[in-house]
Structure 1
Amino acid sequence: MPDRALSVVLAGGGTAGHISPLLAIAGSIVDQRPGTRITAVGTEAGMETRLVPAAGFELRTIDRVPMPRRPSIDLVKLPVRLVRAVRQARAIVAEAGADVVVGVGGYVSTPVYLAAWTRRVPVVIHEANARPGMANRVGARIAARVAVAFDGTGLPGAVLVGMPMRRTIADLDRAAERSSARAALGLDADRPTLIVTGGSSGAASLNRAVAAAVPLLTAAGVQILHITGRGKQVLGTDRDPLAAHGYHQVEFVDRMEQVYAAADLLVARAGAATVSEVSAVGLPAVLVPLPHGNGEQRFNAAALVDAGGAVLVDDAAFTPEWIGTTVLPLLTDPRRLSAMSTASYAQGVRDADRRMADLVLAAAAGGQ
């Protein structure tokens, strides 16, 4: 490789599920190749506008190009929107002097993949979900390297690397950090602890079920940290924020490693990042896949559930009654929680960021 600084353009955004692995890959590339210039590409409407600069990386934006799955006005507008976004992406790739382009999927990735292809810049793709999205199905056809977090995606030439995640999560010792994490989150040190999250956007169905089960859970001595999602505060019958002894609600937690350390059991959606992170740290989980989309969340969870590290429940079946008959007995059974933790940890991949950095640097070397 030449002595000049390497330039890497990374594409992805919209949700934390895309941005977190992107930032983990970027950080590992810089660790392995100090001085590398990182340019992230997103849109002006996604969480990347906050998270990427906060991580210390440059962010450039292009127009958002939705990929409609059925006839609509967006489908009619797609060709014009895509051409404009590819033109914007070409300018960014050229100005960065990119040696390699890395994409993690999402609306922003397709134009960047096409821009790199037209400029003969090698492309490396990471697919987080067991069922690939449209952007990465397109990008895999032109990519120099394709990496996946789960087996069985069907993407050609895919290499299993796991899910890139922050080192503070990948290296987490839950037992060692439990007391300090609970203190930081305002929780009691010794009570059985249930933490519920629907992700950064929240999940209304989970919020409703958990809120209705609060009296049952707290009466049994369980404390709950309910991460409701931005703008999704849970209200009581008096229309004030729901309050009860042992029940704590917040809209968002920035440091998920504290959540993972503090929890005895996590209730969450089965997003790829969540499934990968709970297995990396060995946290028992109840996973409630989204009831819509292409069904990827159920596939994301399959291996972890089969191994005994998590319990899967349909969204419609996740009711206050189910919480009482399944979640509460689990929370009060230390032996079963310990067995689930061991099974979960055995499924975890804790060096995916480094594996991805190796693929990216190899692709860049090949391109040069």
Structure 2
Amino acid sequence: MTRSSNAPLSVVLAGGGSAGHVSPLLAIAHAIKATVPEAAIVAVGTKDGLETRLVPAAGFELAFIDRIPFPRRPSLDLLKLPMRMSRAIATAKSILRDANADVLVGVGGYVCTPMYLAAKSLGVPIVIHEANTKAGLANKVGARYTTFVGTAFAATQIRHAHLVGMPMRKAVATLDRAAERAAARERLGLDADRPTLIVTGGSLGALRINKAVAASLEALAAAGIQTLHITGKGKAVETASGELLTAPLYQQREYVDGMEDVYAAADLLLCRSGAGTVSEVAAVGLPAVFVPLPIGNGEQARNAAELVAAGAALLVDDASLDAAWIAENVIPLCKDDLRLATMGESAKHLGIRDAAESMAAMVLAASGK
């Protein structure tokens, strides 16, 4: 993992575990390479996160560090924390030295705390991206040691915050929904002219959303609305007899490779409100109905708040989403072209498409090159 002697810039990017961390990490990496093609880049993650598949597939080197969770109550794990952290910091220092790193970029998650502490110790400049409206613990620690902190949301409270938006894939950031709609619907097997609802619960799926949509299929079809239901891997919707659920104007898939086609094909998206999804629908100007994940500290509802307040999206509690709510709210909206257009324009006004490039510029500034 030693840096090439002729690389003009060496960057180590840390973060992982979920798509919410890996996706912006990779978008920043690609933007750095677009700016400095000869840059040397190493990503750091854990051996059990999505990064083990996504980072190599994107063409970047991946180094590993132990996952260091922070117990929130007295336990054996809490007693082991100092030794585990010490070992992780030692590993982090080795990674930074081997890469001859000019900059460490962190996007949050368990691996970032030891990476930030190691970078501070070695004098390696730190750049941070915080994706959520409620900043994570690791990034709060890192923000003590740098002024280069980008956020996806204006409401995020973290030291030295600069609003840059959410780094996202080029295919999404540059999407023209109107121009791509017909081709995207053809690729997804959808009718070119029908009102189109697309439902997704994210990479892990969403059982509540799946059940509510399944109970609404007759009403959706009766209204002439076609539905593409992305259920999540292993979350296929089945009948009582265990067969795959089928219905008129309805198709389900566990996964779609390339969300840009989903965003182009949909008139309305029914989805969770993870930071990445909220940022992407704003960037492309897609009306949405958000169903925040009902666990954690309420960050998904906060992520969606600005779009909802601007009239660009609706929000419904997970517990309130059922067939009756869909009949009263989603079906009329799917058929209201004027309202959908207004919502899309409102979303677009809040969307930021150049976040990855802004983060790349921040990396160059931190490096002094």
Tell me, yes or no, whether TM beats 0.5. yes
Task: Verify the 8 A CA contact 1:144 1:363 in the aligned structure 2.
Answer: no
* C-alpha separation in 1, matches of 2:7 and 2:264: 41
2:22 is the counterpart of 1:22? no
Contact 2:7 2:39 in 1 (8 A): no
- Taking the aligned partners of 1:70 and 1:268, their CA distance within structure 2 comes to 33
Distance 2:28 2:314 in 1: 30
* Paired residues for 1:33-52 under 5 Å: 33-52=36-55
- Give the counterpart of 1:364 among 327, 343, 367: 367
Shift of 1:335: 0.8
Q: Write the letter of the residue equivalent to 1:336.
A: R
Aligned residue among 47, 55, 58 for 1:55: 58
SS at structure 1 position matched to 2:331? helix
2:10 is the counterpart of 1:7:
yes
Matched, 1:299 2:283: no
Structure 1 position 3, deviation (Å): 7.2
**Among 246, 249, 254, the residue aligned to 1:251:** 254
Can you list the C-alpha shifts for 1:173-224, whole angstroms capped at 9, x where unaligned?
0011011111111111111111111111111111111111112112221111
1:234–1:75 Cα change, 3 Å: farther
Q: Does 1:313 align with 2:316?
A: yes
The whole-number CA distance in structure 2 between the counterparts of 1:4 and 1:254 is: 33
Change in CA separation of 1:235 and 1:157 when aligned onto 2, cut-off 3 Å: same
Question: Which amino acid in structure 1 is aligned with residue 135 of structure 2?
Answer: P
Cα pair 1:122 1:144 within 8 Å, conserved: no
| Structure 1 unmatched ranges of 5 or more | none
Residue type of the alignment partner of 1:11: A
Name the CA distance, whole Å, in 1 between partners of 2:86 and 2:271. Answer: 38
Task: Find 2:358's aligned residue among 338, 343, 355.
Answer: 355
Residue aligning to 1:98? 101
What is the 5 A alignment of 1:81-230?
Answer: 81-230=84-233
Work out the percentage of aligned pairs sharing the same amino acid.
61
Q: How far, CA to CA, are the matches of 1:78 and 1:292 in structure 2? A: 25
Q: Residue 124 of structure 1 aligns to which amino acid in structure 2?
A: V
Q: Using the alignment, how far apart are the partners of 1:17 and 1:55 within structure 2?
A: 16
Runs of 4+ in 1 over 4 A off after TM superposition: none
What amino acid sits opposite 1:95 in the alignment?
D
Deviation track 1:319-347 (CA, whole Å, cap 9, x = no partner) reads 11101110001001111111101111111
Secondary structure of 1:141's counterpart equals helix
2:270 aligns with 267
Match of 2:288 in 1: 285
Q: Deviations over 1:200-249 (max 9, x none)?
A: 11111111111111121122211111111111111112211111122111
**Structure 2: where are the runs of 5+ without partners?**
none
Local SS of the residue matching 1:233: coil
Q: 2:342 aligns with which of 323, 339, 344?
A: 339
1:106-138 Cα distance to aligned partner (Å, 9 max, x none): 111111111111111011000000110111111
Mapped partners of 1:187, 1:200: distance in 2: 22
Alpha-carbon RMSD across the aligned residues, in angstroms, is: 1.4
Normalising by structure 2, what TM-score? 0.96
